[in-house]
């Protein structure tokens, strides 16, 4: 048996990394990347389904 048993696994995991500027800067960077690749981002819309096009892109119909 390994000293510490299951607890050793919990405490020996990789350390979490943080994003400078918090989650808002992360979300903004992801949004910028998506929009620069032709994605249209809509907020406050109801999502009925998510599917993948033949080209590998995700399609999210909104109301």
Query: Distance (Å, rounded) from C-alpha 42 to C-alpha 40?
Result: 7
What is the SS3 string spanning 5-60? HHHHHHHCCCCCCCCCCHHHHHHHHHHHHHHHCCCCCCCCCCECCCEECCCCCEEC
pLDDT score recorded for residue 27: 86
34-52 confidence digits (pLDDT tens):
899 888 888 888 878 888 8
> Could you say which DSSP state residue 50 is in?
-
> Could you say which DSSP state residue 10 is in?
H
11-33 confidence digits (pLDDT tens):
666 677 777 788 888 888 888 99
């Amino acid at each position: 048996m390994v000293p510490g048993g299951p607890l050793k696994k919990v405490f020996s995991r990789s350390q979490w990394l943080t994003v400078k500027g918090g989650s808002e800067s992360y979300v903004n960077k992801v949004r910028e990347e998506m929009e620069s690749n032709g994605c249209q981002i809509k907020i406050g819309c109801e999502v009925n389904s998510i599917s993948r096009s033949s080209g590998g892109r995700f399609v999210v119909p909104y109301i």
